[in-house]
Structure 1
Amino acid sequence: MNYRKLTPSMSLLLAFEASARHESFTRAAQELSLTQSAVSRQVQALEAMLNLELFTREGKRIVPTDIGRAYMTEIAQALTLIRTATLQALTANAPKTQLRVATLPTFGAKWLLPRLHRFYQAHPDLQIDLDSRIGAADFATQDLDAAIVVGDGRWPDVIAHRLYAEELVLVGNPATLPFARKSKRGAVPTIKALEGLTLLRVRSFPDAWREWCAHSGLPHDALRPGPSFELTSHLIQAVVAGIGVGLVPRMLVEDELREKRLLSPFEAVASSRSYYLVYPERAQRHPVLIAFRDWLLQELAAPDAAR
């Protein structure tokens, strides 16, 4: 057996793995900062070297063959091990004073950043570098130490600390919800009260209104769905502007409610999601991560955590 054939070059493996994961030479090229033709040639070179067909081509679309998909799974695991080992080697002697954390954009802007000065007061020699990202963090391919995400807590291969059980409140501006100025907080929602209102939605939580209606005993289909937004902050701005009403995490609209720019006539409803701090096992002894995790849990346990 030719051992060179069993050890393709890293450039060929990276091109193949990215192409198989994206099922696209173009997106793989964007990830690897190469041209589409360069990635295609590297994949063809790997197929010739192995004498295997790793993809089927359907016009501009590529689909891994069964052999290609199985090979991609094994290669991805090996690349993760290499990246982890390299990262550990590069950081072995580096001072552990910085932490790179991905956070949900609205949570970061509305809750985390107004409080982060307290972390620096307690830890003046440490530094938190924040990235804004929506969705799950991929610690194998992204240069991150930890992430603040929202979901059900079931993520493979990470350590997850539950930070906050999400509570949703229906909010509208005073012109959109004139009845709310006369009703007491905690009024029972009715179809009549919500008739004709436009329900604004966040794309990352498509079932929010369905969950809220089920909790309130209302038929979801009787209400009118409205525009959707990628960012919760954009939805909040739309509600303030009177475009419609929204369901938002209570902790993200405390300022607007206190300043009467928004009204919330009904009690908060527990959603199926929670906020979590997640990180890979390799980062669990990172001293800045430990300090940041403990500070977050302490902040969220305080009586004024939602303010």
Structure 2
Amino acid sequence: MNYRHLTPSMSLLLAFEAAARHESYTRAAAELSLTQSAVSRQVQALEQQLGLTLFRREGRQVQLTDVGRLYQREMSEALGRIRSATLQAMAYQSGGGTLHLATLPTFGSKWLLPRLHDFYKAHPGMLVHINSRIEAIDFETSGIDASIGVASGDLPGLVCHRLHAEELVVILAPEVAASCLGWTPEQLGEQMLLNVANNPTAWGEWFSHHHLPHKAMRIGPSFELTSHLIQAVRAGIGIGLVPRILVEEELASGELISPCVPFASQRSYYLIYPPRNEALPSLRAFRSWLLAQI
């Protein structure tokens, strides 16, 4: 067997990976600063070298074949490891490094960013680029090195460091809180219940914890961002059930009122990343700093 046929040139692999990810030669060409015909020629050259049909061509559209999809999955992972190795070498040489971190928007603004200056004091040669993400991260295609998110347990195939358990608190606007001298769970359950979209079962868990009938729930509007829900509570639209660490300042100042003890949800906050990134100097430094904050 000629092993040269099994190791195509990087230019062919990059053209294929971009075209496969977009299923479009046009978008791949724009990403790689090439012409559409150049991408097409490189993909065809790769197909000829491998003796495989990687794309089906239907007019101006291209779609991955089954073998093309398999090749894309393995190739994307391999290219990710190459990029990671390059970043590690560059970071080691410079004594610094860059970390692309995804985090939940409200957690990032309320908890992480106020503390991040301490990280920079300890590691002045490193940079942390913050990306706000709500959805699950695809580490193969997103360019993200690590993320901070919530989950009910470790995620398969990923390294997960549990930061702390999620404690939820009921929050009311002061004007709403003042309308009743002693709020019971039954009285709270009669209010308009505001939701965060990525945790739709929170109120159901709270009702079960307090042995209240779910049919009594008055489910109100749902919000993508916890910060928007907090603003809605302040405006008196309803009451919220949010992570305590995201409203500690508001509760301490009296901007929001919590009439009952925190409720432990089934989720926790995690630092998450693929195993191949574990040796990144920037990630190792950030991980050590972050775990020391908890």
TM-score range, shorter chain: 0.7 to 0.9
Q: Secondary structure in 2 aligned to 1:114?
A: helix
Read off the aligned partner of 1:299 and give its amino acid letter: Q
* Correspondence for 2:252 among 231, 237, 258: 258
Specify the alignment match of 1:268 in structure 2: 262
Specify the alignment match of 2:112 in structure 1: 112
Q: Deviations over 1:198-242 (max 9, x none)?
A: x32222223223332332333434323333322211221222122
Specify the alignment match of 1:195 in structure 2: 190
Q: Is 1:209–1:247's contact at 8 Å kept on the other side of the alignment?
A: yes
Residues 1:146 and 2:140 are matched in the alignment: no
Read off the aligned partner of 1:251 and give its amino acid letter: I
Structure 2 CA distance, aligned partners of 1:253 and 1:232? Answer: 10
Specify the alignment match of 1:206 in structure 2: 200
Specify the alignment match of 2:128 in structure 1: 129
Q: Is 1:171–1:265's contact at 8 Å kept on the other side of the alignment?
A: yes
Structure 1 CA distance, aligned partners of 2:280 and 2:46? Answer: 41
Q: Is 1:28–1:39's contact at 8 Å kept on the other side of the alignment?
A: no
| Larger mean Cα displacement after TM superposition, 110-119 or 253-262 | 110-119
TM-superposed deviation, 1:131 = 0.6
Structure 1 CA distance, aligned partners of 2:117 and 2:254? Answer: 27
Q: Secondary structure in 1 aligned to 2:96?
A: coil
Structure 1 CA distance, aligned partners of 2:26 and 2:267? Answer: 31
Q: Deviations over 1:117-144 (max 9, x none)?
A: 44455x2645442413223444444555
Q: Is 2:150–2:267's contact at 8 Å kept on the other side of the alignment?
A: yes
Q: Is 1:15–1:28's contact at 8 Å kept on the other side of the alignment?
A: no
Read off the aligned partner of 1:171 and give its amino acid letter: I
Structure 2 CA distance, aligned partners of 1:39 and 1:226? Answer: 53
Q: Is 2:171–2:240's contact at 8 Å kept on the other side of the alignment?
A: yes
Q: Is 1:47–1:53's contact at 8 Å kept on the other side of the alignment?
A: no
Residues 1:41 and 2:18 are matched in the alignment: no
TM-score of the superposed pair, with normalisation by structure 2: 0.78
Return 5+ residue gaps in structure 2 as ranges: none
Read off the aligned partner of 1:213 and give its amino acid letter: F
Q: 1:289 to 1:26 in 2, by over 3 A?
A: same
Q: 1:230 to 1:61 in 2, by over 3 A?
A: farther
TM-score of the superposed pair, with normalisation by structure 1: 0.75
Alignment length (residue pairs)? 292
Q: CA RMSD in A?
A: 3.7
Q: Is 1:97–1:125's contact at 8 Å kept on the other side of the alignment?
A: no
Q: 1:64 to 1:208 in 2, by over 3 A?
A: farther
Residues 1:182 and 2:181 are matched in the alignment: yes
TM-superposed deviation, 1:157 = 4.2
Return 5+ residue gaps in structure 1 as ranges: 301-307
Structure 2 CA distance, aligned partners of 1:183 and 1:39? Answer: 72
Q: Is 2:88–2:281's contact at 8 Å kept on the other side of the alignment?
A: no
**Aligned ranges 1:46-61 → 2 under 5 Å:** 49=48, 52-56=52-56
Structure 2 CA distance, aligned partners of 1:296 and 1:136? Answer: 20
Q: Secondary structure in 2 aligned to 1:205?
A: coil
| Larger mean Cα displacement after TM superposition, 268-277 or 3-12 | 3-12
